[in-house]
């Protein structure tokens, strides 16, 4: 080592002595060498200050470095305003290096004294936080980040896991992917069992573990990445589960799998699925993934058209708390559905045809747009009756006082024999009673206009009473009905659209009852005079 220093000192003395003898004004520069910076395992930044003297210039500028006199390497430096610098790469970890600055003006060479630095040593690997990506009844997916390998090749990378009550750990290997992420799928876990898992990495220097993550295998499924539900529900399991609860983010690919489990494929084909109870309270619906039904794709916070169409196995469902829109016929043909719970954030809720077993709507008390009473869905102020459960049979249903409007399709296929309205009802929506199983309907005196197709397809309807305030009857109002009697309480015959009585043999088979003393008014008014029997 002393010989090494002596060699360097001699070089400096000789270089300084090599002055330009032919031109005394061309003086060698003054050099100052700085301490190395930016030192890592394999890199270091060298710099120095160069001050020109007289008319002297700099033609060549180098840093010379090495771990021994026999391994000294000369590298060209980059000139800066104050001097020169260079970044050394490919250094050996945990190694001491000597270095100096060498400058030539063409006639003389000047060198600084030598300084030294030591590169950082290699270490054990560095891991980020481990997270649980998905969790199913007998499967879990975990992920971690390899921050760095410590400068050494990895001998192990993966996850160690065990039953919480056991000391025996199992290891599953993983490969680092994009940005160092690595993950593994833990399979064949025991149901209803508590597990502990931690990420593990090792190299020649040492090994490292992350903190432990605990989870319990049960029917509560956790999905953090949309489209990965299939990672935690195996092909063997998906046709065996009858009840599951899911939390996390789901897209079209996930709902396609759920339909499969509910007994219906993406094109409506029958599958072996037997899932009947589905709890999605903590789910967020997001766009993306494959189509969930035919060519339908998910949209953010929306339960789309046909999402559960014809899933007849479905008995009970709790909708996601973050859902804002439920589109028309999202549950079309769900003949087994008995209860439908509307959560906090829903602002738009449309009817679904064919839910023939639906007994009641339930609404979260936190919802600001809807309320339910006796299983029937109203707006929050209970001024509009929105939906009557298609499977809730009654002999008589009287619309509560204070309800002013009956919404479109509100009584779609409702199994009510007799419907009677409070005096407060003044507005009927289009096809409000379409397909309902009414035998008799009594409209409020406050309803002035009977909308189009309001009783369309009510094949069991035999008697209708129109209130005193009735002024107009729209097209196809009784289309498909087989009325035996129509009672109109208005003293002045209501005006009728040209096709108001289309779709049935009303004039021949239906008896028209009118107020006392008004028979002639109706007899000579069109189309009322076409009724063969008019009775006061």
Residue 2 has a pLDDT of 39
| CATH superfamily name and code, 126-218 | Immunoglobulins (2.60.40.10)
CB atoms within 10 A of CB 222: 18
- What does the pLDDT profile of the chain (536 residues) look like in tens digits? 434 444 444 444 334 434 444 456 668 899 999 999 999 999 999 999 999 888 778 889 999 999 999 999 999 999 998 899 999 999 999 999 999 999 998 778 999 999 999 999 999 999 999 999 988 888 899 999 999 999 999 999 999 999 999 999 999 999 999 899 999 999 889 988 999 999 999 999 999 999 999 999 888 899 989 999 998 888 888 999 999 999 999 999 999 999 999 999 999 999 999 999 999 999 999 999 999 999 999 999 999 999 999 999 999 998 999 999 999 999 999 999 999 989 999 999 999 999 999 999 999 989 999 999 999 999 999 999 999 999 999 999 999 999 999 999 999 999 999 999 999 999 999 999 999 999 999 999 999 999 999 999 999 999 999 999 999 999 999 999 999 999 999 999 999 999 999 988 899 999 999 999 999 999 999 999 999 999 99
| Three-class secondary structure assignment of 405-444 | EECCCCCCCCCEEEEECCCCCCEECCCCCCCCCCCEEECC
- Distance, in Å, from the CA atom of 536 to the CA atom of 526, rounded to the nearest integer, reads 17
- Distance, in Å, from the CA atom of 254 to the CA atom of 260, rounded to the nearest integer, reads 10
Backbone phi and psi for residue 124, each to the nearest 5 degrees, phi listed first:
-70, 160
| Three-class secondary structure assignment of 300-341 | CCEECCCCCCCCCCCCEEECCCCCCEECCCCCCCCCCCCEEE
- Distance, in Å, from the CA atom of 410 to the CA atom of 52, rounded to the nearest integer, reads 93
Q: Which residues pair with 487 in a beta bridge?
A: 465, 513
- Distance, in Å, from the CA atom of 243 to the CA atom of 273, rounded to the nearest integer, reads 11
Backbone phi and psi for residue 239, each to the nearest 5 degrees, phi listed first:
-105, 15
- Distance, in Å, from the CA atom of 396 to the CA atom of 101, rounded to the nearest integer, reads 102
| CATH superfamily name and code, 2-118 | Immunoglobulins (2.60.40.10)
Residues of the chain within CATH 2.60.40.10 domain(s) are 2-118, 126-218
- Distance, in Å, from the CA atom of 92 to the CA atom of 35, rounded to the nearest integer, reads 19
Contact by Cβ (8 Å): 307, 330: yes
pTM of the model as a whole: 0.70
- Distance, in Å, from the CA atom of 262 to the CA atom of 270, rounded to the nearest integer, reads 9
- Distance, in Å, from the CA atom of 303 to the CA atom of 317, rounded to the nearest integer, reads 12
- Tokens representing 477 are 């109002």
Alpha helix segments (H runs only) across 112-183:
none
Q: Give rounded-to-5 percent helix, strand, coil for the chain.
A: 10, 35, 55
Contact by Cβ (8 Å): 465, 443: yes
DSSP state of 523: H
Residue 369 has a pLDDT of 94
Taking domain 219-360, whether its CATH number is 3.40.50.10420 is answered by no
Residue 8 has a pLDDT of 44
Contact by Cβ (8 Å): 467, 446: yes
User: Which is nearest to 387 in space by CA: 366, 420, 365, 409?
Assistant: 409
Residues of the chain within CATH 3.80.10.10 domain(s) are 219-360, 393-536
- Distance, in Å, from the CA atom of 515 to the CA atom of 80, rounded to the nearest integer, reads 107
- Distance, in Å, from the CA atom of 336 to the CA atom of 314, rounded to the nearest integer, reads 6
Helix (H, G, I), strand (E, B) or coil at 396: strand
- Span 393-536 CATH architecture: Alpha-Beta Horseshoe (3.80)
In sequence order, the 6+-apart residues with CB closer than 8 A to the CB of 48 are 31, 32, 33, 34, 63, 77, 83, 84, 85, 101, 112
- Tokens representing 509 are 């088979």
Residue 12 has a pLDDT of 41
């Amino acid at each position: 080592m002393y010989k090494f220093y002596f060699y360097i000192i001699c070089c400096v003395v000789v270089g300084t002595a090599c002055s330009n003898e032919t031109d005394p004004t061309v003086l060698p520069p003054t050099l100052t060498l700085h301490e190395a910076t930016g030192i890592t395992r394999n890199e270091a930044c060298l710099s120095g200050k160069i001050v020109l003297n007289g008319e002297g210039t700099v033609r060549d500028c180098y840093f010379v470095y090495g771990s021994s006199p026999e391994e000294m390497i000369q590298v060209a430096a980059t000139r800066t305003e104050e001097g020169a610098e260079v970044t050394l790469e490919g250094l050996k970890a945990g190694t001491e290096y000597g270095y100096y600055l060498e400058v030539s003006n063409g006639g003389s060479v000047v060198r600084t004294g030598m300084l030294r630095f030591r590169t950082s040593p290699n270490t054990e690997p560095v891991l980020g936080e481990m997270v649980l990506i998905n969790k199913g009844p007998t499967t879990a997916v975990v992920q971690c980040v390899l921050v760095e390998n410590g400068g050494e090749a990895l001998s192990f990378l993966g996850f160690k896991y065990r039953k919480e009550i056991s000391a025996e750990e199992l290891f599953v290997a993983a490969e680092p992917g994009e940005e160092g992420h690595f993950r593994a799928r833990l399979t064949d876990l025991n149901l209803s069992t508590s597990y502990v898992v931690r990420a593990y990495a090792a190299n020649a220097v040492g090994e490292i573990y992350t903190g432990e993550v605990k989870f319990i295998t049960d029917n509560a499924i956790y999905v953090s990445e949309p489209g990965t539900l299939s990672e935690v529900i195996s092909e063997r399991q998906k046709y065996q589960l009858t009840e599951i609860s899911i939390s996390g983010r789901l897209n079209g690919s996930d709902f396609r799998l759920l339909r499969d489990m509910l007994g219906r494929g993406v094109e409506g084909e029958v599958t072996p699925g037997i899932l009947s109870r589905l709890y999605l309270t903590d789910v967020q619906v997001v766009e993306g993934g494959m189509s969930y039904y035919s060519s339908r794709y998910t949209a953010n916070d929306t339960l789309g058209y046909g999402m559960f169409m014809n899933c007849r196995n479905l008995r009970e469902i709790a909708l996601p708390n973050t859902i804002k829109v439920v589109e028309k016929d999202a549950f079309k043909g769900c003949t087994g559905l008995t209860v439908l719970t509307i959560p906090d954030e829903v602002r738009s809720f449309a009817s679904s045809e064919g839910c023939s077993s639906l007994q009641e709507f339930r609404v979260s008390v936190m919802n600001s747009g809807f309320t339910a009473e006796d299983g029937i869905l109203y707006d929050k102020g209970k001024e509009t009756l929105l939906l009557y459960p298609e499977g809730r049979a009654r002999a008589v249903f009287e619309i509560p006082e204070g309800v002013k409007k009956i919404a479109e399709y509100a009584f779609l296929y409702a199994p009510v024999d007799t419907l009677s309205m409070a005096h407060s009802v003044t507005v009927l929506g289009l096809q409000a009673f379409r397909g309902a199983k009414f035998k008799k309907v009594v409209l409020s005196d406050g309803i002035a206009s009977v909308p189009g197709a309001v009783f369309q397809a009510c094949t069991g309807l035999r008697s209708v009473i129109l209130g005193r305030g009735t002024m107009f009857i729209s097209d196809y109002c009784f289309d498909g009905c087989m009325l035996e009697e129509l009672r109109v309480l208005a003293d002045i015959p209501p005006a009728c659209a040209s096709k108001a009585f289309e779709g049935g043999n009303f004039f021949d088979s239906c008896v028209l009852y009118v107020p006392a003393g008004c028979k002639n008014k109706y007899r000579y008014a069109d189309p009322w005079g076409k009724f063969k029997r008019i009775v006061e």
